[in-house]
Chain A
Amino acid sequence: MTRLSPRFTGVLVTISVLAVIALVVRGCPSPDSAATTATAKPRRGGQLVASARGVPRTFNRLMAGDQPSDMFAMLTQGSLVRVNRSTFEVEPWLAEKWESSADGLTHTLHLRGGITWSDGTPFTSADVLFTLQAMYDPKVQSVVASSVMPGGKPIQATAPDAATVVLTYGQASGSGISLLDMFPILPKHKLEGAYKAGTFPQAWTTATAPSEIVGTGPFVLREFKPGERLVFDRNPTYWRTGVDGQKLPYLDRLVLQFIPEQNAELLALQAGTTDLTQSELRADDYVPVRRAEEEGKLKLIQGGVGPDADALWFCMNPEIKKGDRRQAFVQKREFRQALSHAVDREEFAQTVFLGEAVPVWGPITPGNKPWFSPNVPRYPHDVTRARELLKSIGLDDRNGNGVVETADGVEARFTVMTQRGNSSYERGIAVLREQAAKIGVAFDAAPLEYPTMIERLLACQYDAVYMRPYFSNLDPANNMDFWLSSGSTHFWNMSQKTPATEWETRIDTVMREQAATLDPERRRELFNDAQRILAENVPVLYFVAPRLYFAHSTRTMGVVPSVMRPPILWNADSLSVAGP
């Protein structure tokens, strides 16, 4: 019998069925999306669906600073001024115009007339005073308060009338008026009761009924299904009008779907279930998105170079690391400079981000346009120089095992923590290991889950860590916690009582001065100085800053991408839907 055995036939059939499925899936032509008509005037109406991975912790922006809560506040509330996330200019918002005194201590703001809250109550200066009072109240413990304290003192506010607010700063602040973008103005008539009763921190939690959440933003909350979605409807009393004269927002409704898995989020975008995402695309996502763009389903846009760069640093807290003999050379700047020389940043960009990244040598990247300084000292890829630097501090490979050590045998071997589950971190650490190995420094990678890593970070229970630290604000005066040696986010040696090194003292001085200077040119000069000192002493090694790519559906119009988060929804009131 020449018949094939049934078993074999069965296996053959299985494989061929799988192959057919694969071909179908690969070559299945998807229905074309509707042709996009380039409308001159944005269409009013329609809804957009955005996907988000995180849930807001609270609806009360003063109580939590996480990114989803911040975005919620941006959609439903307004601040006195707005810093345009694309041009970085300060725009009048709830305050229409203002005058500042020459010494920068007093600012008189004239509130825009005719603004009402979404429930019809008029917006007045009393709301501003109430918000500031609640924010600075120590019993409330607002997380925003500490970032809005020029000179370490709360801003004093008085209201001569219902449309004017006079703010007095404790110290002249370089950020000036832009500080006022950092918190929304909350309604006094809705929250005063809770504040007087001492339950302000528990007010406006995510369990609050949507009708209670009143704001001056473009949208009002319609419903919140925990874990599923947030639905926003147009705020009919929103004050802003678009450039074409129509009242904003254009959209009737904005839906935020929660999709926790990144690959599934991208698939939903490609399927047309969602119109935009909050996260930037990964380098690996480029191919499928480009293909979708060619099929007319998605639009790929470049946001520019991101403001945050990949960084590696060692914990150099002298007390906690007292017994660690490696600190003897880790604390020497030549060691870190050698490592910086050893890293080929071009190759790093090519491997980790497939070429879509630019080399950087400091925390401020070209994506932070107002503050980037190209004159920061650079460490070109030079393995010989790196080895020389190591030798100059006594590190040499005496026993031929490929790892350098000191004269008394202390090896330059470190465990580097990184966040698990992020492919760019995993690739990055692999490249760093190879390149460090070329000069004899051994890295052992320890990918950890996020909370585990954070705990070790805060307790300095690590040798080195590799990650991309995010600055929430581009203005250096609002990031003093990183620059000042006493700062709590001065990664490599947090919350110092007195500066541990002379260069940290110099940075402290320069940064304090720039925060108190009003002249923008002088501020920039001083800050360039601080960047230079940091780059010379390399407490943190910076490698590359990735270019940010975003994708949205072709029916989404009016997108202005930003390198800050949220990249597209910061401008939600001007988004519209294409169509006939």
Chain B
Amino acid sequence: MRIAGAVLLGLILLAACAAPWLAPNPPNRRFADLLSAPPTRIHVGDGSPAPHLHPLRIVSRLERRFDEDRATHVPLRWFSGVLVSADPDSGAPLLLLGSDAFGRDRFSRLLYGSRATLALAVLATLLATAVGALVGGVAGYAGGRLDTFLSRVSEFVVVLPAIYVALALRAVMPLVLPGSTIFVLLLTIFALLGWPMVARGVRAIVLVERDREYAMAARAAGASPTRLLTRHLLPAARGYLSTQASLLLPAFILAESTMSYVGLGFPDSTPTWGTMLQDASNVALLGDAPWALAPAAAIFMVVLGVNLLVQSTGHAPVQLER
């Protein structure tokens, strides 16, 4: 199952990197006559042997109803800059997941959005895990005053809602920030938000592990605290760390959209999965347009892949079940 997880993640990573080649349309291209359009149906036969599309005409904008213009055939193009597409200017763009309320291709935005979303979330998770493991390990090992101090610091970080900090930051920052600044800012904020959870769990584990026989033996053999920590104690928390990381990842993906609500988000031209999901908040329409949940499905795939990857292999030395 680990392989399944790795394969899944690998595919997603590949899609993210190859987005310019896989996405049929530019992510910010607005098709003014195709707002909230359903996914394009690909037809075969019916006059042309090659797969083709029919342009959609608006029947009612308010009711989001479209009709196919059966008379016109728009062929699919292969390998003309992108893997497969239909000419965006023909009035029949290839919308594999339909279009959003602005008329932009959801599928392309999903692909492009994976870059910013995943880059931020993965880096933030790694950072938070690393910092948390370090702090938790030190706190659990050292005990006493240092432990108390670090625990209280972690509590203080958790209790101060990120929204305050974000708003205050917004006040001092200029109005329009380049994407890279936002990226670094969000990365820092997320890492700062995420480490207490990691630290507390690691501390609980290390607290117990340090009094185990093997740890005592290592100490007796003259191992320095750092070596003890890194080579013996922290690896004991490896399982916890990986699981916690798999929980932080989706949390950060989703937190990005909350941050963007406060004004600390990526500029409009950068799609992200979290902000794409805001389109789905009119839940009454999800029955008609379930493809609006595509980013949630994408997040689910990523988290599933990570979970499959980090879970311990299915063979215990002794099976507990009959």
Interface residues of A (CB under 8 A from B): 7, 11, 22, 25-26, 263, 266-267, 270, 283-288, 290, 347, 350-351, 354-356, 415, 417, 420-421, 423, 427, 430, 434, 444-449, 452, 462
Contact = CB atoms under 8 A, between A and B. Distances in A.
A263 B283 contact: yes
Nearest to A284: B282
Nearest to A344: B32
A415 B103 contact: no
A427 B35 CA distance: 11
A255 to B, nearest CB: 24
Interface stretch (B47-55, B169-177, B223-231): B169-177
Given A427-B102, A449-B263, A444 B284 contact: no
21 contacts: A7-B4, A25-B287, A26-B287, A263-B281, A263-B284, A284-B101, A287-B285, A288-B282, A288-B284, A347-B32, A354-B61, A354-B62, A415-B175, A430-B102, A445-B267, A445-B268, A446-B175, A446-B176, A447-B263, A448-B170, A448-B263
A427 B103 CA distance: 10
A452 B32 contact: no
A427 B304 CA distance: 34
Interface in B156-213: 167, 170-171, 175-176
A287 B284 CA distance: 9
A447 to B, nearest CB: 7
B1 interface: yes
A355 B281 CA distance: 22
A22 B291 CA distance: 12
Interface in B231-266: 261-263
A573 B101 CA distance: 39
Given A284-B282, A356-B62, A449-B170, 13 more contacts: A284-B285, A287-B63, A287-B284, A287-B288, A350-B32, A351-B32, A355-B61, A417-B175, A420-B263, A430-B30, A448-B175, A449-B261, A452-B170
A61 B35 CA distance: 44
B282 A263 contact: yes
Contacts of A415: 175-176
A267 B284 contact: yes
Contacts of B261: 420-421, 449
Contacts of A452: 167, 170-171, 263
Q: Which of B62, B64, B102, B283 has the most CB of A within 10 A?
A: B62
Contacts of B30: 430, 434
B290 interface: yes
A297 to B, nearest CB: 12
A267 B283 contact: yes
Interface in B94-118: 101-103
A449 B167 contact: yes
Contacts of B4: 7
Nearest to A417: B175
Which of A355, A430, A434 has the largest number of chain B CB atoms within 10 A?
A430
Nearest to B171: A452
Given A287-B64, A427-B101, A444 B167 contact: no
Interface string B68-91: 000000000000000000000000
B33 to A, nearest CB: 8
Interface in B1-60: 1, 4, 30, 32, 35
Nearest to B63: A287
A386 to B, nearest CB: 19
Contacts of B32: 347, 350-351
B227 to A, nearest CB: 39
Contacts of B285: 284, 287-288
B63 A290 contact: yes
Nearest to B284: A288
Contact of A351 (B35, B63, B290, B304): B35
A279 B181 CA distance: 38
A22 B288 CA distance: 11
A137 B102 CA distance: 52
Nearest to B33: A350
Contacts of A355: 61-62
A11 B281 CA distance: 26
A326 to B, nearest CB: 15
Contacts of B61: 350, 354-355
Contacts of B263: 420, 447-449, 452
Interface pairs A-B: 5 shortest CB-CB? A288-B284, A26-B287, A354-B61, A355-B61, A354-B62
A421 B278 CA distance: 9
A356 B282 CA distance: 19
B63 A22 contact: no
Given A351-B103, A415-B176, A452-B263, A22 B171 contact: no
A266 B284 contact: yes
B300 to A, nearest CB: 10
